[in-house]
Structure 1
Amino acid sequence: MALQTSPDAPIPVGRVSRLIGGWIDRLGAVWVEGQITQLSRRPGAGVVFLTLRDPAHDISLSVTCFRSVFDQVADVVSEGARVVVHAKPEWYAPRGQLSLRAAEIRPVGVGELLARLEQLKKSLAAEGLFEAARKRPLPFLPQLVGLVCGRASAAERDVLENARHRWPHVRFEVRNVPVQGVHAVPRVVEAVQELDAHREVDVIIVARGGGSVEDLLPFSDERLVRAVAACRTPVVSAIGHEPDSPLLDLVADLRASTPTDAAKRVVPDVGEELTRVRQLRDRALRCVTALVEREERGLASVRARPCMERPHRMVEEREERIAELTGRARRTLGHLLDRAESELTHTHARVVALSPAATLRRGYAVLQHADGSVVRAADEVAADEELRARDARGEFAVRAVAAPDAVVPPA
């Protein structure tokens, strides 16, 4: 039932606190899951104080329990562990503070953690965050390497020492953050985002020196996985040792088995690169030398050919061939002319022998009418007709007279 209050008739704070306590006392016990962020066990005290936190929503509640309850799980529960607590809400009226009174504490088993991680893994994989097409290649020689690791940790030492041993001039931008416990995820996410925004950072390494499944839970947190997936800078995951495989390994652009392996994969070895350069230079020299020698042999072979050794020889051979063909042509033409001359001589002799002029030279003459037509028969000539007579030496005029008797040619 709501209280009837007004500015003129307020109620005291103590009554409000008692009313809240009475309402909370009516609540039953509940099972609560969370992560232990603070644990206080004072020597000789019969009560243990701890803080239970929800990493997903960043909400914390104070929890108290008798030492006998906590001692049952003291060997397997520490700060950062995930537990399930059966507790009843309590209201401490003098301070106005809500807490839980735990009657039973159960650590979350590894099998249950792995099942939850597997479910998260499938969910993120369905979004495509682990696809190989999203992976970006690492730069060959990074000028500035971002490193996220624990302060003064073995992982930091392994990465820095091995990288500088391989390439002494490599520079690092180190961000020391908690890599375990309740503050690990937000601090690692903040460090990764800060290095990703740094313009000179070419690659980011997230390193940790291994641990149990519970210790590596921050590197399977969904917030960290999404932050790495959103990075524009290539990210290398170097969490733990070979068997360890948090979800960060799947979303990172490269997974290194150890921090030492990360240093080897990110920074090239100057000695190896110099050796490789020498090998490539020697191979190039051999290739060029072999090419020059082959071309020299080919040039020598070409120069040894007769046409190159005596360039005028081909002209001389062609000149001799032309002279030979010219002589043949002249001889052939001479034979043809001689044969044609002989045939012409014979033909001329036959023409002369058969010519009418030759007949005329034997005493014959040709009579022609005035129009030039030849008189072929006597009856073609009229009396007193003037005719032209043509002999071998010229022509002269004649006149036809009537014949005493007509001569009839024989039948």
Structure 2
Amino acid sequence: MTPASSTARRAVPQPTTPRAFACLCGRPVFFRNSQCLACGRPLGYAAERGALLALEPAPQRAGRGGWREAGRPARGAPRYARCANLDSAAACNWLLGADEAAAGFTLCRCCRLTRTVPDLTRPDAGLWWCRIEQAKRRLVSSLLGLSLPVRAQAEVPDGLGLAFDLLIAPPEGPGVITGHADGVITLDASEADDARREARRDSLGEPYRTLLGHLRHEIGHYYWQLLVAPSAWLAPVREVFGDDREDYAAALQRHYTQGQPPDWGQRFVSAYASCHPWEDWAETWAHYLHLVDTLDTARSFGLDGERVELSYERFGAEVLAGIPVAAPDDSAAEFLHLINSWMELTGVLNELSRSMGVADFYPFVLSAPVVRKLYLVHGVIRAAG
């Protein structure tokens, strides 16, 4: 063993949103599971705890039944209800707390965000809905893990709540335009068709296009309106991302007719981010969620970027100079560890992808200006949480 490899490594940081779970029987179970395939025990995700729980029926008391975590002392154990969408095409495995059930809710806090489901009489609509909800559950669990506000629009009558409309275009048209407006995220449900989505990705020359990516991008627009536009963050965000008062429709038209600037890769995380500051923010926000959740998953299984045998030139504090972040003093060090771990981890994952003869796991290059933008997103999230 070489001296370098024998040097003690520091412990893997704890994930913000854990992704590794075990059933009461000891076998591994995963975020989307509603039943342990080894022992058959029912499972449910308790979002407020960020935990996938093995369940057992709770004894009837005062007309209340429900479920509780198996293998724990019964006295004072929280009671749960399973989401009514468990047995629907959405196949939701989330739980409702006793207070939610007492308030008359039958859907979990994630399913309550969906205002419109796809027309289930249409071919493949049930499958598409299932895939979209799986992606949305992963998104929402990350948002909750980051302590960001997540409230259904129907439950926030005087504020800016969230609603998802999952639509299928009628055969005679017009098409569905994916986008965000005042808390309502509209998604073309046919994006859940892998072949259609890949064809669109190829035709637009995009390196990456997924359901989860769509949701993370559109939720970025929502949090701009909720956390940036009405706050002291607006000035520093405009300084780094550009002035969002630029004509949005004209900017999009220019992007689709003239294309992206030739140096976009030196300043933006994606070509689409170059078309307008709002899209730059949304693309950067989505990218931040990509890297945080992927690192959370790696760390949940005991792997951190600093533990892989690959060395990159690391980003230092100088790259963040002048970026205002209203967060604790350790935010710069925390962020630099995050971004450098990400670069090292994805380097290995790309090599693994190449070993399988498939496209790179991470087909992006992060420039210093993009890292500065990611740091500003990090600051907004830290301040909100």
Please give the range of the TM-score, normalised by the shorter of the 2 chains: under 0.3
TM-score by length of 1: 0.21
The structure number with the bigger radius of gyration is 1
Q: Which has the higher contact order (CA 8 A, sep 6+)?
A: 2
TM-score by length of 2: 0.22
